[in-house]
């Protein structure tokens, strides 16, 4: 069994940074700056990919027999990652809605 403090902290840091980027993208879209919102989404992508890669390594380690110590920090890291993935999906949806709203406003 191994401790995974470093991996857990990296998952928390990367997913937390990505979450901030997604939330900023939503804010930018809400004020009509869809180009900046899209760029903010792109900034988040590498961070969430890295967090997901670390999670995948932990899971693959389990399959190889490298049992990770289940602790509150790892649970917190997983919670951070999963909630950020939900925010990512919702931010994609919201940016699409703001774009459509902007198009409708131009028609009026």
Per-residue pLDDT tens over the stretch 3-39 = 689 999 999 999 999 999 999 999 999 999 999 999 9
* Cβ atoms of residues 43 and 69 within 8 Å: no
Q: What CATH number should be reported for the domain holding residue 50?
A: 1.20.58.80
Whole-angstrom distance, CA of residue 11 vs CA of residue 20: 14
Question: Is it the case that residue 45 has pLDDT exceeding 70?
Answer: yes
Q: Which domain holds residue 49?
A: 5-107
Domain count within the chain: 1
Q: What is the pTM (predicted TM-score) of this model?
A: 0.89
For the record, the structure tokens of 82 come out as 């999963």
Which of 13, 34, 68, 76 does the annotation list as catalytic?
Answer: 76
Does 46 count as an annotated binding residue?
no
- Whether 52 is catalytic is no
């Amino acid at each position: 069994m191994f401790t995974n403090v470093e991996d857990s902290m990296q998952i928390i840091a990367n997913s937390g940074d990505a979450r901030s980027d997604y939330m900023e993208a939503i804010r930018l879209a809400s004020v009509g700056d869809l180009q900046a919102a899209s760029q903010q989404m792109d900034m988040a992508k590498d961070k969430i990919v890295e967090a997901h890669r670390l999670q995948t390594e932990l899971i693959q380690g389990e399959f190889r027999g490298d049992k990770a110590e289940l602790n509150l920090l790892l649970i917190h890291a997983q919670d951070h990652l999963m909630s950020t993935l939900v925010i990512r999906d919702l931010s994609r949806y919201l940016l699409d809605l703001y774009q459509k709203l902007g198009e409708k406003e131009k028609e009026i």
